[in-house]
Amino acid sequence: MTPTRPVAAVPQELLDHLGPVEGVEVLAYDGADGDTLPGGGRAVDVLVLPFSAGPLLRRLREVPGLRAVVLASAGYEHALPHVPAGVAVANAVGVHDTPTAEMALALILAAQRGLATYALAQAEGRWDTSGVGQRRALADSRVVVLGYGGIGRALSRRLLACECEVVAVASRPRAGDDLVDTVHGSGDLPGLLAGAQVLVVAVPLSGRTRGLVDAAVLAALPDDALVVNVARGAVVDTDALLAECAAGRLRAAVDVTDPEPLPDGHPFLSTPGVLVSPHVGGGTPAAYPRMGAYVTRQLTAYRDGGRLEHVVHTA
């Protein structure tokens, strides 16, 4: 039964971006304070987690009355081991689509155009024109987007603006949309990679997708292809990818890794042809108003129907 006046605990950082939610009691809390429970010990129906939720995740079972959790991340596998029985979990659908797609596009362009080489030369005070006229281009490239959800579609829209051929792949085949003629099933992936210059990984991590991009998938890519991962590190077989890059056959540009964070001296940080950013794809100021709008919709849905939208798991 829907509570007469549901109680929601919301991080202080999102309050200025929260819209009107009449009929919901909103309790603000400091998301950086892992020692104090959200709600101050009061029963909380809906807990909205902050962007940096690690300490609070481990204390979810201590929050009295908890019925639902709203994550501030698109990924949710990290939260599930901490969710109490009977509690629904919703991820941040749509919040990170645009910034993550921007990061994927930035990684592709940086890797294809050799921007890391120029940045290093500038840091050393050198004017380096090596490779001029030989750098790879994004235009006219075949880009396979593995994972055609919100992030995959946002990236595809940008890739088409860069005059690419976009091949969309999802868990199951389906009809196309306004961006692509068809969406291929993941079972067809190896056959779609033969002529690809770029493979972008944008699927959520699950038992089905863990290790999905394995040695066999990588072997199906042509020489000098670029593998971009903005999903989760464990979707790609780290050892297999490093072996291909170390041999000089493939290149990689990744915003996520396995393990994460990378320990000092990890091969990802020194293997030629590998560009690493430290999981910062969704971390832009745009995340706050987008998350605020999303939380407003979620609290309204919970007030009106007693449940969240976009529930990805119920413990």
Catalytic residues: 232, 260, 279
Query: Which of these, 11, 194, 190, 210, lies nearest to 92 by C-alpha position?
Result: 11
Provide the 3-class DSSP secondary structure of residue 124.
coil
Q: How far is CA 266 from CA 226, 230, 258, 270, in A?
A: 20, 19, 10, 7
The residue with tokens 């091969």 is 267
Q: Residues near 202 by Cβ (< 8 Å), separated by ≥ 6?
A: 100, 104, 145, 146, 147, 148, 149, 151, 152, 155, 230, 231
Instruction: Tell the burial category of 259 from Cβ atoms under 10 Å away from its Cβ (0-12, 13-18, 19+).
Output: exposed
In this structure, the number of other CB atoms found within 10 A of the CB of residue 188 comes to: 12
Which segments of 181-225 are extended strands (E)?
A: 182-185, 198-201
